[in-house]
């Protein structure tokens, strides 16, 4: 049985071309590998993450390599996921971090808690989790991250889009991989949650594509909209579920605010966002 598992894992690992075989528990003295390394692709991630695998696939998951490290009675599960590009890796991090806790400067962004460390660097999303939940492991978690960071290629600054959102009363920012604001028309974009309301920026391929999206939005909201003089074109409305909303286009960006008490507040906040967009 064990030999078969090893055989299978080696098959999968071979199939996952490009997967980096750098993971080792000896990053930190006193830690030893427990069991075989694991490797997953989009086809078999369900074996490991079950239904949660969908949350990886939606962020362009390409492959994962993992290892369990043991010291005394403590086990750390370390998993490194290749998310295809840096934006998706950061998006995965932002979707999984605890929004009530601060982000640390680890790679593009990280979150160090007593039993877990999540961070993104380049196209990689890293999870180090103490599997049974015991004593505070922050020192050990940080030590593993310190050793791994230089081995992970790629960007260590957050996506530029995060700088576009006005910082006042900002709670969290994330990449929504499909259906921003729950609308299929807004395919993929960044969303910032505020103490009140949320802002969004969808980056289309061209100004023409962005204009098409605006046209579809106008058709969707119908008679509820009022034209707003903002950017190349814009409108505001008060609609169910999104409350006061303002949407504008600036070149290839479709952006705005939603879930504010009324449309005029959404328009006022949108003007601040407009000023920060490139």
Partner 1 sequence: MLGAPKGRYIMSLKTSRRDFLSAGLMVPVAGAASNFGLLQSPDKRPAKAADGPAKLDYRVLGSTGVRVTTVGFGCMITSDPSVIERAADVGINYFDTARGYQHGNNERMVGAALGARRKQLILSTKSDSGNKASLLKDLETSLAELKTDYVDIWYLHGKDKPTEIRDDMIEAQQIARQQGKIRFAGMSTHALPLMAEWTVQKRAFDVVLTVCNFAIDKSMDDAIAAVAKTGTGVVGMKVMAGGFRDIKPSNPLYSKLQRDGAMLAALKWVLKRPDMHTTIPSMTDMDQLDENLRAMAEPYSAGDDKILSAHLEQIRPLYCRFCGECDGACAKGLPVADMLRILTYADGYRQFALARERFQELPVQHTSVRCGDCAECTVQCPHGVQVAERLTRAQELFA
- Interaction site with partner 1 (CB under 8 A): 1, 4-5, 8, 42, 44, 46-47, 49-52, 54-55, 57-58, 95-99, 116, 118, 132-133, 174, 176-184, 187-188, 191, 219-221, 224, 239-242
Q: How far is the CB of 34 from partner 1 (least distance, A)?
A: 15
- Residue 98 or residue 153: which is nearer to partner 1 going by CB? 98
- Residue 55 or residue 154: which is nearer to partner 1 going by CB? 55
Q: How far is the CB of 121 from partner 1 (least distance, A)?
A: 18
Nearest to 110 by CA among 101, 98, 99, 119: 119
- Residue 55 or residue 166: which is nearer to partner 1 going by CB? 55
H or E element at residue 46: helix 45-49
Q: How far is the CB of 275 from partner 1 (least distance, A)?
A: 25
Q: How far is the CB of 22 from partner 1 (least distance, A)?
A: 24
Measure the CA–CA gap between 79 and 69, rounded to whole angstroms. 11
Measure the CA–CA gap between 44 and 15, rounded to whole angstroms. 12
Residue with tokens 């939005």: 217
- Residue 49 or residue 155: which is nearer to partner 1 going by CB? 49
Measure the CA–CA gap between 133 and 22, rounded to whole angstroms. 26
- Residue 14 or residue 275: which is nearer to partner 1 going by CB? 14
Measure the CA–CA gap between 55 and 180, rounded to whole angstroms. 15
Q: How far is the CB of 1 from partner 1 (least distance, A)?
A: 6
Q: How far is the CB of 186 from partner 1 (least distance, A)?
A: 9
DSSP state, residue 113: -
Structure tokens at 265: 């507040």
- Residue 155 or residue 188: which is nearer to partner 1 going by CB? 188
Q: How far is the CB of 28 from partner 1 (least distance, A)?
A: 23
Say if residues 202 and 186 touch (Cβ distance below 8 Å).
yes
Burial 249-275 (b: 16+ CB within 10 A, else e): bbebbbbbbbbbeebebbbebbbebbe
Say if residues 260 and 196 touch (Cβ distance below 8 Å).
yes
Structure tokens at 255: 């952006």
List of E strands, 182-267? 189-194, 198-203, 226-227, 233-239, 243-250, 253-260
- Residue 239 or residue 271: which is nearer to partner 1 going by CB? 239
């Amino acid at each position: 049985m064990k030999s078969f598992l090893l055989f299978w894992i080696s098959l999968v690992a071979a199939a996952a071309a490009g997967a980096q075989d750098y993971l080792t528990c000896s990053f930190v003295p006193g830690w030893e590998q427990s069991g075989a390394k694991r490797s997953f692709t989009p086809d078999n991630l369900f074996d490991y993450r079950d239904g949660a695998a969908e949350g990886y696939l939606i962020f362009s998951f390409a492959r994962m390599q993992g290892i369990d490290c043991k010291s005394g009675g403590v086990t750390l599960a370390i998993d490194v996921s290749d998310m295809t590009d840096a934006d998706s890796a950061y998006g995965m991090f932002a979707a999984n971090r605890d929004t009530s806790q601060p982000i640390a400067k680890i790679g593009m962004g990280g979150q160090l808690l007593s039993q877990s460390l999540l961070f993104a660097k380049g196209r990689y999303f890293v999870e180090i989790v103490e599997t049974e939940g015991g004593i505070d492991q922050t020192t050990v978690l940080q030590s593993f991250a310190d050793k791994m960071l230089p081995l992970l290629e790629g960007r260590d600054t957050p996506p530029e889009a995060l700088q576009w959102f006005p910082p006042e009363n900002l709670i969290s920012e994330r990449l929504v991989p499909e259906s921003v604001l729950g609308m299929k028309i807004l395919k993929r974009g960044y969303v910032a949650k505020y103490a009140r309301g949320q802002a969004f920026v969808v980056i289309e391929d061209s100004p023409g594509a962005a204009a098409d999206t605006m046209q579809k939005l106008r058709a969707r909201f119908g008679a509820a909209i009022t034209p707003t003089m903002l950017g190349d074109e814009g409108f505001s409305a008060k609609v169910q579920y999104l409350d006061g909303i303002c949407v504008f286009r600036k070149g290839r960006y479709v952006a705005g605010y939603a879930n504010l008490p009324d449309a005029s507040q959404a328009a006022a906040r949108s003007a601040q966002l407009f000023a920060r967009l490139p």
